[in-house]
Amino acid sequence: MLEKKLLTLACAAGILACGACFLPPLPEPKPRLPPALASLHRIAIQVEDNTGDNLFDPVVMSRATASNFNRLWSGFPLHADSFGPSGLSDGTLRISVIRKSVSCSPQRERKQFCTIDMGISFTVKAADGRILQSEREQRSTFGLSLRAMSLPVTWNSDPFRQEAAYALAFTAGSKLLVPEPSN
């Protein structure tokens, strides 16, 4: 009788163990926003070019940066829109490009690799105008492989705009949303 009970208990434990192995994993909770940004759910992203030369279109860059921000930081409970008159956001992320430069390697086999370096600063403001977080000059760098002699002369060209918007969204998001590791 005791043997039957032990055998039944062992079988039940085995069934539970095997059944638990094939269950889908529990969903992980979304990461929390830093305390300074905890009151935000929707932010409007405004990108401005303050370099003084070869300026990019701020409306197009704001839209592209907001799209990249949402894709890169989708795990966070914060949604970005491009800056506009809608007024649905409860905060604004203003990204200012204060320096930009391009350096390219020599051409090889009809290809050329360029490194684009941007100096940016950004500020997050609540809808009531309070500054929630501000970062002085940060470096945002990305690379771009181009066919020989195709180096665009403007920052409004598609390859530059796409990569620059991604770099801006990544740099701003990593500084605002991800806590710095403590030593």
Give domain limits for the chain.
32-99+119-139+154-177
Residue 79, judged by CB atoms within 10 A of its CB (0-12, 13-18, 19+), counts as: middle
Which tokens belong to 34? 């830093």
At 2, the amino acid letter reads L
The pLDDT tens digits of the residues spanning 61-95 come to 999 999 999 999 998 999 999 887 766 788 999 99
- Complete DSSP assignment for 32-98: PPPGGGTT-SEEEEEEEE-SSSS---HHHHHHHHHHHHHHHTTTSS-EEEES-TT---SEEEEEEEE
Task: For residue 5, give the 3-state DSSP assignment.
Answer: helix
The pLDDT tens digits of the residues spanning 49-59 come to 998 877 888 99
Beta bridge partners of 145: 113
Q: Residues with Cβ < 8 Å from 87, sequence gap 6 or more?
A: none
Q: What is the CATH number of domain 32-99+119-139+154-177?
A: 3.30.160
Tell me the Cα Rg of the chain.
24
At 1, the amino acid letter reads M
pLDDT at 110 over 80: no
Work out the average pLDDT over 113-117.
86
